[in-house]
Chains A and B, each alone.
Chain A
Amino acid sequence: MKLLYLIKKELIEIVRQKELLFLMFVGPIIQIIVLGYVISTDIRHVPVGIVNLSKGQTAVRVIERVRRSPLFNVRLESDRNEDYLYLLKKGEVKAVLIFRDALDKKRSVLKYPEVQILMDGIDSNTSMIAAGYFNGIIKNYILNDMEKLGQGLPIAGKAMFRFNPQLRNINYMGPGIVAFLLTIITIFLTSASLVREKEQQTLDTLLMSPLSTLEIYVGKALPAVLIGLVDMVIGLLVIVLWFGIPFRGNIAILFLAALVYLAAILSYALLISVLSATTQQAMFFAWFSLMIFLLMSGFFTPVDNIPPTLRLLADINPLRYLIKIIREIFLKGNGIVYFWKDLLALAGISFTLVTISLLNFKRFISK
């Protein structure tokens, strides 16, 4: 019961500051909404330039389609053989489409013009998608042409997308953002907590109290667990109600995974707090860990792309497992049979971190 007083004290310290309350509960909502919109925008209005050197009608018709498509924003059009590279270099366009009449040995001009795409390869992702859009336009044109002559393409691939039929990006990224905001807030609240007591010399008061080391440890971590869970509920409500992301899985298992994850993250944050002498040091350590956790978690880019030598880092990254699990539950509605291995790995990491952190904490207190 003594523990309750410590938890109460920690919570009072947090609630007392309205700025902190704002950052903890309102900040995440704003972030999820704004970032949710960013994420749910498909790539469109790709700025392109068009150079038409073809004399045929086909090129004119294809260009008309490109111009009408919302996927492209035609910034420049020309019918002269100019320095195309200059346009790309200025960064005004992401791609230049060049139409030329292709020659055939038998006929003087082929039915379809030769098309060349010059792409700005820096943002390879956007360029690839833009090239895909363009291929689609040309393919549709040819298809229409063939249908007019009474023949379709002999083989057609009919695609069906499982788990996310409309290919909404927010369905994939939204749950990840919730997991990440949960991480930011709890890790920063906790990693600063003990250091502050060191800096302000209030630690001795805490140590002289009748609380045991374990109780102090738990008392420092539990308030953040509560706050983390509240934040997670808020975040989940926002993505489900505001963005309409379907929730298909079991909510209890999701919270179980979140609790295991919070144990890992908070014991890690307390370890940072023990090892840092000033708040600034704690901030740098927490920041470093956060960036590594985020960027090696599969949140933005697939984990499979991490080279084998650095794979170990990804394998011990707790956020990676939480993001995997939250996506399994949200997108696929999978039950625990599909991800028990991930949950087990997360629990293992959690247990190891709690042990290391608690040992360090005890050694630190006894000094």
Chain B
Amino acid sequence: MGRIKAIVIKEFFHILRDPRSLTLVFIIPLVMIFILGYSISYDLNRVDAAVIDLSQSRLSKQLVRAFAANRIFVVHTRVQSQANVLSLTAAEDLLRRGKIKEIIVIPADFSRRLAADMQADIGLIIDGSDVNVANLVYQYDERIILDFIAAMKGVGQLLKLGTKVYFNPEARSQFFFIPGLVAVILLMISAMLTSLSIARERETGSIALLFISPLQSREIIVGKTIPYIVVALLDGALILLFARFWFGIPLRGSLAVLLFFALLYILAGLALGILISTTAPTQRVAMLATLLSTLLPSFLLSGFIFPLDSLSPILRAISYAVPATYFLRIIRGVILKGAALRHFLFEGFMLIALSLFLLAAATAKFNKQRRAAQ
């Protein structure tokens, strides 16, 4: 124990000797959450649509008005000043330029067909490049048309469909994104903190001193991790408090539970960093490896942006190796739903297992290098 303490103290000196890095560790996450918390959202606030009304009848004008009355639709009927009716080619060009998201075409026989009790079709030409937006636009279209039919027939609603949203009643995407960002940032910062520690010693050659020290490899690895637990946990607490008080993300569960799991999660991140550091020959390799192994997987394979239930079995298996998968579930559950410790026994167990595995792998790797050097 005393020997581990010695290496912990030495490592603390390393951290304190570079106060600028330490400041960055605390400031960068806050600035990031501040900027990104406001900037990333999926909400569809405005749909620009061009309407080509070839029918120009009472009913078609009513339909156009129904679209215009919707909160998010901005309807353009006259773009070229000289022409009364917007031509299809001009509208297609606007679509290509990204000025509008859809073109609504009402055919000339629209009201004639309706009067004859036949089905009248409306053309909806939607910009499909952003799939998410295209789907939402189409859903809005359908709803507006169904409401219009109901009003036309005077039947009220065809069917009563009530939707109630829980945990995030205003459907603010900040509630979804900010806890996710906290998870990604916490993992990345933990992994980065330790990722250079051994690679740096290797680059400067001081690793030879570590090799010949009486310490066991296990003790070196653990001793190099402990100081960063303190740093990362302080950082994590700061980030959580910032999300709570600046963005008003409610904390419905217990802070102690959240910090407990944050500790396990940080440990997994630090262990990943240590493993990278023992494997990488230079700091440059360590940096690149840390980024590649944490950034996109934490966003895309953790359930942050794409729900895990939809993934194929192989990808789901990979997601079990991504620490963010577990913490994301925990942080969303505790913060937004007020879930308790006992809900996340599996997640907690997996985080511990991952950390132990990574630390063991790092120790084995370090041991091998040590023996090769001697």
Contact = CB atoms under 8 A, between A and B. Distances in A.
Contacts of B333: 91
Kindly list the 7 A-B residue pairs having the minimum CB-CB distance in the complex, ordered from nearest: A161-B128, A121-B168, A164-B128, A121-B165, A284-B24, A114-B160, A279-B283
Nearest to B197: A280
A306 B176 contact: no
A129 B307 CA distance: 12
B161 A115 contact: yes
Contact of B38 (A115, A158, A310): A310
14 contacts: A73-B309, A116-B164, A122-B175, A138-B161, A155-B149, A158-B122, A162-B95, A184-B292, A279-B283, A281-B24, A288-B31, A291-B36, A291-B185, A306-B38
Contacts of A152: 119
Contact of B291 (A131, A287, A310): A287
Interface string A50-61: 000000000000
B28 A302 contact: no
A153 interface: yes
B284 A20 contact: yes
B339 interface: yes
A331 B283 CA distance: 39
Given A45-B309, A155-B120, 5 more contacts: A41-B311, A138-B159, A154-B152, A162-B125, A306-B39
B166 interface: yes
Nearest to B145: A157
Interface residues of A, number: 114
B179 to A, nearest CB: 8
A41 B145 contact: no
A365 interface: no
B161 A117 contact: yes
B295 A159 contact: no
Contacts of B310: 41-46
A161 B134 contact: yes
Given A37-B312, A122-B175, A288-B31, A277 B20 contact: yes
Given A152-B119, A283-B192, A127 B40 contact: no
A127 B165 contact: yes
Contacts of B272: none
Contacts of A115: 159-162
Nearest to B32: A291
A278 interface: yes
A307 interface: yes
A302 B130 CA distance: 9
Given A121-B167, A125-B42, A281-B21, A162 B176 contact: no
A122 B332 contact: yes
A131 to B, nearest CB: 6
A336 interface: no
B32 A288 contact: yes
Contacts of A165: 128
A172 B284 contact: no
B35 interface: yes
A283 B310 CA distance: 34
A119 B166 contact: yes
B306 A38 contact: yes
A199 B310 CA distance: 47
Nearest to A301: B40
B149 A153 contact: yes
B130 to A, nearest CB: 6
B361 to A, nearest CB: 16
A222 B283 CA distance: 21
A184 B296 CA distance: 11
A128 interface: yes
A178 interface: no
Nearest to B199: A279
A188 interface: yes
B166 A188 contact: no
B131 A168 contact: yes
Given A20-B284, A34-B318, A162-B127, A284 B192 contact: yes
B189 to A, nearest CB: 8
A169 B309 CA distance: 17
Interface in A42-90: 42-47, 73, 85, 88-90
Interface in B226-284: 279-284
Interface residues of B, number: 113
Nearest to B127: A162
B163 A158 contact: no
A157 B36 contact: no
Given A124-B173, A281-B18, A338-B97, A304 B46 contact: yes
B339 A279 contact: no
Interface string A5-28: 000000000000101100110010
B89 to A, nearest CB: 13
A165 to B, nearest CB: 6
Nearest to A332: B96
Contacts of B35: 292, 296, 310, 313
B338 to A, nearest CB: 8
Interface stretch (B1-9, B78-86, B135-143, B362-370): B135-143
Q: Most A CB atoms within 10 A — which of B114, B161, B299?
A: B161
Contact of B284 (A125, A189, A332): A189
Contacts of A155: 63, 114, 119-122, 145, 148-149
B348 to A, nearest CB: 15
Given A20-B285, A292-B35, A124 B114 contact: no
A188 B287 contact: yes
Contacts of B281: 17, 19
A154 B112 CA distance: 12
B25 interface: yes
Given A142-B159, A163-B128, A184 B291 contact: yes
A98 to B, nearest CB: 9
A157 B152 CA distance: 16
Given A19-B281, A157-B122, A306-B39, A132 B139 contact: yes
Contacts of A314: 39
Nearest to A38: B300
A123 B288 contact: no
Contacts of B41: 301, 305
Contacts of A302: 42, 130, 133
